[in-house]
Amino acid sequence: MYFIGNWKMFGSVKSINYINSVIKLAKLSKFKKAKIVYCPPYTILSEFVKKTKNTKIKVGAQNCHHEKNFGPYTGFINAKMIKLIGAKYIIIGHSENRRAGDTDKLINLKVKSSLSENLQVIFCFGETLKERKKNKTFQVIKKQIYMGLKNLKNLKNIIFAYEPVWSIGSGKVLNNNDLESQIIIIKNYLKKKFKIKNPKIVYGGSVNPNNIKSLVEIRTLKGFLIGGASQKSKKFIDIIKKSIN
């Protein structure tokens, strides 16, 4: 089961010591099924890689530039650089980045360049509240997935992260029945359209120690993408402990 911590635009070199307790937990055989991935900001990626060396914890970036080769793109970082620093994962298509200008086309290029660097892609998609109210949820999700994966050959290194935009940071989560049926629809679409045998789907959006017990009951989920609650190790650990007995 995946526990992917998305630190967003938070954290400094000092905050790396916060994860000491998580490193300790990851060593316990009881939690060997927990696949813990930290996605800190670029500025501390390499410190995270050093800190988690010889542990089971992996590190990922939160986005990249779409150009796969080095080039004149001031202020940007591409998948190759992320790979070179020792990260193994990358979040692509997060709604906060879609909102900031990441189009489906750019996202497709980013997924492509990340896969060519052998990074595991955490591909995010999800509807806004307005879209949900208009009953357009599946239509929106389908388009994001279809455009994001267009012309890609090997999809086995992709983790699909369903993150309803209205659920991120809001404390609001779909009830289990609705979320589960949503996940099944997504799974079937991925199987049918992209011939992915067993797509790995994780859920993100206000996952916290209070709602995790009920979320883990959704057996079709392979884990969680956790924002706010991953920045506090106590909460992150609580989530992991409550998910794995």
In the residue annotation, 66 being an active-site residue is answered as no
Task: Say whether residue 163 binds ligand PGA (CB under 6 A).
Answer: yes
Task: Say whether residue 5 binds ligand PGA (CB under 6 A).
Answer: no
Q: Say which DSSP state 45 is in.
A: H
Q: What's phi and psi for 171, nearest 5 deg? A: 85, -5
In whole angstroms, how close is the CB of 161 to ligand PGA at the nearest point?
7
Distance CA 144, CA 150 (A): 10
Q: Which of 11, 199, 223, 228 binds ligand PGA (CB under 6 A)?
A: 228
Strand partners, 92: 123
In the residue annotation, 94 being an active-site residue is answered as yes
Write down the catalytic residue from 94, 117, 127, 180.
Answer: 94
In whole angstroms, how close is the CB of 153 to ligand PGA at the nearest point?
27
Cβ closer to ligand PGA: 27 or 169?
Answer: 169
Cβ closer to ligand PGA: 64 or 80?
Answer: 64
Check: CB of residue 74 under 8 Å from CB of residue 144.
no
Q: Which of 207, 215, 239, 240 binds ligand PGA (CB under 6 A)?
A: 207
Task: Say whether residue 223 binds ligand PGA (CB under 6 A).
Answer: no
Specify the amino acid at residue 67: E
Q: Give the position of tokens 């990922």.
A: 60
Residue 165's nearest CA partner among 126, 136, 211, 212 is 126
In whole angstroms, how close is the CB of 27 to ligand PGA at the nearest point?
25
Tell me whether residue 142 is exposed, middle or buried, using C-beta atoms within 10 angstroms of its C-beta: 0 to 12, 13 to 18, 19 or more: middle
Site track 122-161 with ligand PGA (rule: CB under 6 A), x = hit: ----------------------------------------
Task: Say whether residue 174 binds ligand PGA (CB under 6 A).
Answer: no
| Alpha-carbon distance values, 241 to 133, 187, 233 (Å) | 35, 26, 12
Six-digit token string for 94: 């997060």
The site for ligand PGA, by CB under 6 A, has a size of 13
Distance CA 71, CA 83 (A): 16
- Point out which residues bind ligand PGA (CB under 6 A): 6, 163, 168-169, 204-207, 225-229
